[in-house]
């Protein structure tokens, strides 16, 4: 830390105070954003933090002028938070920032127009990021992390301020997205429901009027929620919306969306091209796609095992596991085609014994009971048309379209 003289410190602090008050009085949102964006680590903010650590009595400076003391509470908390942030005390920084955010939201509520919306976004973002950092600190010190949870309830409060009618509603979706991020991180996604309800049921505000950035994020998260619920058609529409509207230059974002969209599409019987997986670095799905194409059950199981951790964490494991039935279908089709070549007259009669043999080639050791069980499931789920003659242990396939394609419809339950 470079040495800062008293006078210099005094100058810097006064300058910040002046800029803050100017920004508020001229309703200059972008300046205000810059003044509050801690995580940007911008040089002016860092030098201000150093100045604050030298010039301890900043509150007297605030009190000095009526102009400053009007926002005295807000500014005092900002200074305290910045000071702690600078010296690495993130928990203290969070606590002060939370107080500041409360005061700021109160002030924001009183402002008629929504000019400070951008600044509010910054506050929302900063508090979430700061809370995450503080929680990291707390966990490494063996204490229970709870700041993110607190940030969540503060964000909920902000959402309440914005969710009503009027010009401020435009900002509601941004806060919703911050809430999603918080809840997904905390693992309390069920809390998302109330926010979603108030966004989706509101008739007064058209969803399309929200900023595109927020719409994409919103669709991404709600799509993920639908994946959890195994509601694949809905997940498909939401994630596809996100994909179509996101910034095509942001490859990382596209990859994030595809990570969920690919399994969803697979469950609907739509197989992606290899280039897509290659271009967006989605190697974990390559083998699974291959297994689906070939009807190779063994390959599917290997692929699942190989990336089990990753799939479990992202939450697509169960979705991918369910692809097994489609792999069986593919395998059956292959057996059927094979049989048609050798014995066209009896092509639509598949012996269970034969299926079991095919599975044995794939190192899947199953007895007839188990094969029969899988066949009943396939027929029940309409992946195979036909019936199973229990007595003769034969699957009798329908002569018309015995292996119907899913074509974007989910496997019936």
Partner 1 sequence: MISDCFLSWGSFLLNTNLVIILSSFSQPGAAVSTSNDTYWMHQAPSLQVHHPVPPQNNYQSPLETKPLYETPFQGHQRATYPQEMNSQSSFHQAPLGYRQPTQTAPLVDSQRVSKVQIPTNPRIASNLPSGFTKMDKDSTAASAAQAPAYVSVSMPKPKDHTTAMSDPGTFPKSLRGFVERAFARCKDDKEKESCEVALRKIVKKAKEDNTLYTRDWDTEPLSTVTTTNVTNSESSSAQLSSLQNKSPTRRPKSRWEPLVEGKPFVKPASTFSSAVKFGVWNHQNENNKKSSESFQKVDAATGFKPTYSGQNSAKKSFQRPVKRQRFSGGAATAIDDEASSDSDKDLTPYYSSAMALAGSAEEKKRRDSRSKRFEKIQGHSRGNDLTKPKNANVGNLHSRRATALRLSKVFDESGSRAVEDIDWDALTVKGTCQEIEKRYLRLTSAPDPATVRPEDVLEKALIMVQDSQKNYLFKCDQLKSIRQDLTVQRIHNHLTAKVYETHARLALEAGDLPEYNQCLSQLKTLYAEGIEGCSLEFAAYSLLYITLHSNNNRELLSSMSRLSEEDKKDEAVRHALSVRAAVTSGNYVMFFRLYKTAPNMNSCLMDLYVEKMRYKAVNFMSRSCRPTIPVSYIVQVLGFTGAASEGTDEKETDGMEDCLEWLKTHGANIITDSNGDMLLDTKATSTSLFMPEPEDAVAHGDRNLDVNDFFTRT
370 scored as a contact of partner 1 (CB under 8 A): yes
For residues 257 and 239, what is the distance between their CA atoms, to the nearest angstrom?
6
**What's the closest the beta carbon of residue 192 comes to partner 1, in angstroms?**
12
**In the complex, least distance from residue 277 CB atom to partner 1, rounded to whole angstroms:** 23
The answer to whether 179 and 149 have CB atoms below 8 angstroms apart is no
The answer to the question of residue 322 lying near partner 1 (CB under 8 A) is yes
Name the minimum Å distance from CB 380 to partner 1: 5
Q: Is 389 in the site for partner 1 (CB under 8 A)?
A: yes
As a whole number of angstroms, the distance between CA 156 and CA 352 comes to 58
CA distance 98 to 114: 21
Judged by CB under 8 A, the residue of 107, 228, 294, 298 near partner 1 is 228
Interaction of residue 375 with partner 1, rule CB under 8 A: yes
Binding status of residue 231 toward partner 1 by CB under 8 A = no
In angstroms, rounded to a whole number, what is the distance separating the alpha carbons of residues 115 and 18? 19
Nearer to partner 1, 211 or 315 (CB): 315
Q: Is 399 in the site for partner 1 (CB under 8 A)?
A: no
Using rule CB under 8 A, residue 321 touches partner 1: yes
d(C-alpha 162, C-alpha 193), whole Å = 17
Q: Does 379 interact with partner 1 (rule: CB under 8 A)?
A: yes
Whichever of 62 and 323 has its CB closer to partner 1, that residue is: 323
- The rounded distance, in Å, linking the Cα atoms of 55 and 267 is 62
| Among 315, 354, 404, 410, interactor with partner 1 by CB under 8 A | 315
Judged by CB under 8 A, how many residues of this single chain contact partner 1? 31
Which positions from 140 to 179 touch partner 1 by CB under 8 A, shown as an x/- string? ----------------------------------------
Work out whether the CA dihedral 388, 394, 398, 403 comes out positive or negative. positive
Question: 339 by DSSP, 3-state: which?
Answer: helix
CA 221 – CA 213 distance, rounded (Å): 13
CA dist list (Å): 152 to 32, 114, 128, 157, 182: 23, 22, 8, 9, 6
Q: Are 221 and 239 in contact (CB under 8 A)?
A: no
Bridge partners (DSSP) of residue 351 are 394
Establish if 193 lies at the interface with partner 1 (CB under 8 A): no
Task: Give whichever of 6 and 318 is closer to partner 1, judged by the CB atom.
Answer: 318
Give the tokens for residue 362.
């794939």
Distance CA 127, CA 333 (A): 55
- Of 112, 369, 401, 407, the one binding partner 1 (CB under 8 A) is 369
139 is a site residue for partner 1 (CB under 8 A): no
Is residue 309 involved in binding partner 1 (CB under 8 A)?
yes
Tokens of 3: 């040495």
Q: Which of 185, 324, 351, 362 binds partner 1 (CB under 8 A)?
A: 324
Based on the shown chain and the rule CB under 8 A, indicate whether residue 297 belongs to the binding site for partner 1. Answer: no
Q: For partner 1, which is the closer residue by CB, 120 or 262?
A: 262
Q: In sequence order, what are the residues at sequence separation of 6 or more whose Cβ sits closer than 8 angstroms to the Cβ of residue 77?
A: 96, 97, 99, 100, 103
CA distance 94 to 96: 5
Q: Is residue 374 a contact residue for partner 1 (CB under 8 A)?
A: yes
- Which residues form the interface with partner 1 (CB under 8 A)? 187, 189, 228-230, 309, 312-313, 315, 317-318, 321-322, 324-325, 369-370, 372-377, 379-380, 387-391, 396
């Amino acid at each position: 830390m470079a040495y800062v003289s008293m006078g210099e410190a005094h100058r810097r602090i006064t300058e910040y105070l002046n800029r803050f008050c100017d920004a508020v009085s001229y309703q200059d949102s972008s300046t205000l954003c810059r003044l509050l964006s801690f995580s940007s680590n911008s040089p002016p903010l860092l030098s201000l933090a150093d100045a604050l650590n030298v010039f301890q009595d900043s509150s007297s400076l605030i009190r000095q002028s009526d102009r400053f003391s009007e926002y005295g509470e807000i500014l005092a908390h900002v200074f305290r938070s910045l000071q702690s942030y600078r010296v690495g005390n993130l928990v203290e920084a969070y606590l002060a920032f939370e107080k500041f955010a409360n005061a700021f939201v109160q002030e924001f509520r009183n402002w008629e127009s929504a000019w400070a919306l951008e600044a509010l976004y910054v506050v929302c973002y900063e508090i979430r990021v700061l809370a995450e950092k503080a929680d990291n600190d707390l966990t490494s010190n063996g204490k229970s992390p709870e700041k993110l949870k607190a940030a969540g309830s503060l964000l909920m409060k902000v959402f309440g301020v914005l969710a009503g009618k009027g010009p401020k509603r435009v900002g509601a979706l941004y806060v919703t997205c911050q809430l999603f991020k918080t809840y997904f991180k905390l693992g309390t996604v069920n809390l998302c429901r109330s926010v979603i309800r108030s966004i989706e049921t509101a008739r007064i505000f058209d969803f399309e009027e929200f900023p595109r950035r927020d719409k994409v994020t919103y669709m991404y998260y709600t799509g993920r929620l639908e994946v959890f619920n195994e509601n694949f058609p809905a997940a498909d529409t939401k994630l596809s919306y996100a994909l179509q509207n996101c910034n095509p230059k942001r490859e990382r974002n596209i990859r994030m969306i595809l990570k969920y969209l690919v399994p969803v599409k697979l469950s609907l019987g739509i197989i992606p091209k290899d280039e897509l997986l290659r271009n967006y670095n989605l190697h974990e799905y390559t083998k699974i796609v291959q297994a689906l194409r070939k009807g190779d059950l063994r390959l599917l199981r290997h692929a699942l095992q190989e990336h089990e951790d990753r799939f479990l964490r992202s939450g697509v494991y169960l979705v991918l596991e369910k692809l097994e039935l489609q792999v069986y279908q593919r395998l059956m089709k292959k057996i059927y085609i094979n049989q048609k070549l050798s014995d066209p007259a009896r092509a639509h009669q598949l012996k269970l014994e034969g299926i079991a043999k095919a599975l044995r080639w794939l190192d899947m050791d199953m007895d007839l009971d188990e094969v029969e069980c899988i066949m009943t499931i396939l027929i029940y789920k309409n992946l195979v048309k036909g019936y199973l003659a229990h007595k003769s242990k034969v699957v009798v396939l329908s002569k018309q379209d015995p292996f119907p394609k899913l074509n974007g419809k989910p496997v019936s339950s």
